[in-house]
Amino acid sequence: MTRRVSPLTLVIAATVALIGGGAVAAPAAAFPAPAPGSDTAAQQTTLYYDDSRAAEFRDAVEAGAAEWNAAVDNVELVRAPAGRRAEITVVATDGWPMATLGPVRPGGSATIWFGRQAVWQGHDEVRIAAHELGHSLGLPDVKPGPCSSLMSGSTGGVGCTNAAPNAQERSRVEQLYGGGAAGAAPAAGTLVVDGP
């Protein structure tokens, strides 16, 4: 029976022989596979956002993206550098916030309209940003809902400042962007209007 030996195994064996070592461990034993759920096992998708038209909400958008980045492993939201095409475009408007429902994929396109009307009524800017980014990541509204649910949006009340996704929201985004889903075709977006 012929056994195939990988080039890496040959390199390790030659190195060990040169330095006078003993037995050679198989590469798999030397570099064990990452455990499921570990950071190195995650198939991270990087999505770029363009907040150049977000006006006074740029800091809120950055803080909302940071909430998602702290909460999930399979996707990372990064402000697009100059000249880089972004998958998510944020535009300040005077209406109610609304967004394209994702999940947006690399090379795809989603828009968030950061509506001032919600801010004028007293809703938290960072919560609005994180909520709308949640739509771009594929989460629909869950209304009515408690403040502990990011996707409850305005039904969390004007006093609600929670901008962190709950366990179910985190889990759903991890599913949408994990397990090879990052390479899937861009999702066809539906417009979600976050009015009262």
| Active site members | 132
Tally the residues of the chain: 196
CA distances from 119 to 54, 56, 114 (A): 13, 11, 9
Residues 130 and 68: beta-carbon distance below 8 Å: yes
Residues 169 and 148: beta-carbon distance below 8 Å: no
> Peptide bond preceding 144: is omega within 30 degrees of 0, i.e. cis?
yes
- Amino acid identity for residue 47 in this structure: L
CA distance 176 to 74: 9
CA distance 79 to 183: 21
**The tokens 């399979």 sit on which residue?**
74
Q: Are strands 75-79 and 45-53 parallel, antiparallel or unpaired?
A: parallel
Cα-Cα-Cα-Cα dihedral sign, residues 161, 163, 164, 168: positive
